[in-house]
Amino acid sequence: MANPTVVLIPFCVPGHLTSMLNAGKRLLSNSSSSHALSFTVLITQITWVPNHMSEVADLIRREEAESGFEIRFHHLPAVELPVWLGAEDFISRFIQLHAPHVKAAISGLPSPVAAVVVDFFCTTLLDVTRELALPAYVYFTSSASMLALMLRLPALDAEVACDLVEVDGAVDVPGMPPVPAALVPTPLLKKDVNYTWFVYHGNRFMEAAGIIINTVAELESAVLAAVAEDRCVPGRRAPTVYPIGPVLSFKPPGEQRHECVTWLDAQPKDSVVLLCFGSMGGSFPEPQVREIAEGLERSGHRFLWVLRGPPHAPSPYPTDANVDELLPEGFLERTKDRGLVWPKWAPQKEILAHAAVGGFVTHCGWNSVLEALWHGVPMAPWPLYAEQHLNAFLLVAYLGVAVAMEVDRKRDNFVEAAELERAVRSLMGGDSVEGRKTREKAMEAKALCRNAVVESGSSYASLQKLTQEISRMLCVRMTGSA
């Protein structure tokens, strides 16, 4: 008989798909020879973004050629796209339309299905797993703090009649310091259709056999304790949470070193601040570009700035920047001895690993946060969308690994030159008490992250517990006894 398979149902965008694949490979590497597992990935056809499916196809080819694990990819039929009412609504309804295809695909698999793991945007598919009598787990790509908020949200929705953007004060997220209402994730600020979907997903999490999360137990211990003690869902019993992070993939650099890395080779240790804003960020209007340039120039510190051009609709992804048009006249010449403005995609993980990088101005996407913590790089948060404002609060007020930076959310997350200058000086300057404490905390977080994934670590143990539970439930279903 073929090895039992774990079915992964990701939301097929880079940050979510790659993270779930890496988590799946961790799961396979922890399965014993007597309970060997494979996994099957159901791929949705995201046709509304140009070139997106070719990027997914490239990723699949790499996985099939390099992973060394038993992985099968199954492409689901395309569906008619929903009407756009907002990102979270669109994604959730897009996934929901795949329910009959998911049921048919799982039912037709030649291997026994050990479990199904769904991305947190895919909880509508828990109806399918219930119909098939299969255990289902939610894979949560963000922080435990965001998970706690989503579990808390159904009760919070009943408690607060108005939009959260109108709340004057803090939101209670168990295990966290009081969270200013103005810093809750973008889709939660107003009680519209996107907010309603988050309430829905928070409720559906409760039906899962467990929640697999990309964090480290020691990093967010108080929050995870609050979830385990059901303080986020009073009167209800939350699923078991399995923290298995940081889920990261590091490939050896190629023979051809990237130009950014070569430039860093010539810079002193811990002297460069990196400004990079993820796969969908880095493109700013000209007024903001001028403020960034002025702030960096006045800071006096070395910098590597990944500056991107505006997306070409309907794609949400930035293009290569024309730096001569965007940057203030003379900026490149005045900073040529201590700065590099890179106008294309840049290998962020490789850059953060470089000894010359001493600080990171980041959009606070959770993958980027974990990459920085893995390398012990302190941060200055510049959140832009999604849950990034909550992540920024977590980094500053809870973990202490970031220097606070004032971001004007009402002005499309605008940052003044003087504020960027102050934050960079604090982050990079040897005389700053705030900066020194932040760097110390970042190095402590680095040790926690690396200790968690070794054989005696908490994430390793959590993964083993998860694997054993999946194998136990499969044995019960196949033999009728525990």
Q: What is the mean pLDDT of each run of 10 residues along the chain (482 residues)?
A: 89 88 89 76 83 79 80 94 92 97 97 96 98 98 98 96 94 96 95 97 98 98 98 96 93 81 97 94 95 98 97 85 95 97 96 98 97 98 96 98 97 97 93 92 98 96 95 87 58
| pLDDT recorded at residue 33 | 53
**Considering the domain boundaries, does residue 113 fall inside one?**
yes
Q: Quote the CA–CA distance of 36 and 268 in Å, as a whole number.
A: 48
Do 209 and 335 sit in the same domain of this protein? Answer: no
- Tokens of residue 116, six digits: 């199904």
Do 406 and 463 sit in the same domain of this protein? Answer: no
**Considering the domain boundaries, does residue 340 fall inside one?**
yes
Do 52 and 97 sit in the same domain of this protein? Answer: yes
Do 78 and 175 sit in the same domain of this protein? Answer: yes
Do 226 and 155 sit in the same domain of this protein? Answer: yes
Could you read off the pLDDT of 278-313 as tens digits, one per residue? Answer: 888 899 999 999 999 999 999 999 999 999 999 987
Handedness of CA 291, 385, 363, 421 (dihedral sign): positive
Do 410 and 330 sit in the same domain of this protein? Answer: yes
**Considering the domain boundaries, does residue 254 fall inside one?**
no
In this prediction the pTM is 0.95
**Considering the domain boundaries, does residue 205 fall inside one?**
yes
Contacts of 406 (CB under 8 A, 6+ apart): 415, 416, 419
CATH number, domain of 438, equals: 3.40.50.2000
Q: Using omega within 30 degrees of 0 as the cis cutoff, is the peptide bond preceding 246 cis?
A: yes
Residue 243 domain boundaries: 5-249+454-479
Total count of domains within the chain: 2
Do 374 and 433 sit in the same domain of this protein? Answer: yes
Alpha helices (H) along 221-355: 221-228, 259-265, 286-299, 323-326, 331-334, 348-352
| pLDDT recorded at residue 30 | 79
- Tokens of residue 437, six digits: 């404490």
Do 158 and 299 sit in the same domain of this protein? Answer: no
| pLDDT recorded at residue 14 | 77
| pLDDT recorded at residue 29 | 85
Measured CA to CA in angstroms, residue 340 lies from 164, 198, 355, 468 at distances of 40, 40, 16, 49
Nearest-Å Rg of the Cα atoms of the chain is: 22
Residues acting as catalytic residues: 16, 119
Q: Could you give the angle at the alpha carbon of 49 between the alpha carbons of 45 and 53, nearest 5°?
A: 45
**Considering the domain boundaries, does residue 416 fall inside one?**
yes
Do 233 and 307 sit in the same domain of this protein? Answer: no
**Considering the domain boundaries, does residue 130 fall inside one?**
yes
| pLDDT recorded at residue 277 | 96
**β-strand partners of 417:** none
Do 154 and 290 sit in the same domain of this protein? Answer: no
| pLDDT recorded at residue 198 | 97
Do 13 and 154 sit in the same domain of this protein? Answer: yes
Do 104 and 167 sit in the same domain of this protein? Answer: yes
